[in-house]
Amino acid sequence: MADQHLRKEAMVAPSTVRWMESRKEKEVATALIHEEEKLKKTAEVDLRQYQESLHQKMKMDCQNLKDNMHRLQDEFSKLQRSHCSPDMYFQGTSMMLPQLGSSNDSSSKELLCYRECISCLKNEASTLLLPCAHQVLCTNCTEDAAVGASCPCCQVLIEQLVRVYSGSS
């Protein structure tokens, strides 16, 4: 019986060893799988964070571009409004040209037509409107166009009025 027992142990020992080795291999494989799953989850989280940061950057860039576009559109419309139509500036000139052609006397009264107030069309434009720098109103009409009003030429908000003195005023 002892002989049979030794044979059984001899048979059991290699199978137990194989079973133990197989079990260790499975544990190592399972540990590797868990490690790979952790790495995969970490990579997915990192990728989502990177995508989110790119998305936020794109949103900010898009908003900056929109803001720049609106700023440029506003600036463009201000520039368009800041230029009076040539008719307004040269209205006095067209009135002055026939007089200059018929007379050699170019007195200051004739030259005043070019600097005529665009509001009353009577007096000399003698007030500089800032920041647009239009000189299109006389002193009387300037009282109506106070600081905070809009320039009658370009509609820019008047921040300051400067009285301009010439030889005739």
Min mean pLDDT across 36-40, 85-89, 123-127, 130-134 is at 85-89
β-pair partners for 127? 137, 163
Phi and psi, residue 127, nearest 5°:
-130, 130
**pLDDT band for position 19 (cuts 50, 70, 90):** confident
Question: Looking at residue 89, what is its pLDDT?
Answer: 47
With a threshold of 0.85, does the pTM exceed it?
no
**pLDDT band for position 18 (cuts 50, 70, 90):** confident
Distances (CA, A) of 83 to 79, 86, 157: 7, 8, 14
Separation of alpha carbons 142 and 107, rounded Å: 26
- Of 121, 118, 39, which is closest to residue 84 (Cα–Cα)? 118
- Please, what is the average pLDDT of the chain? 79
Provide mean pLDDT across the span 16-44.
Answer: 94
pLDDT at 152 over 50: yes
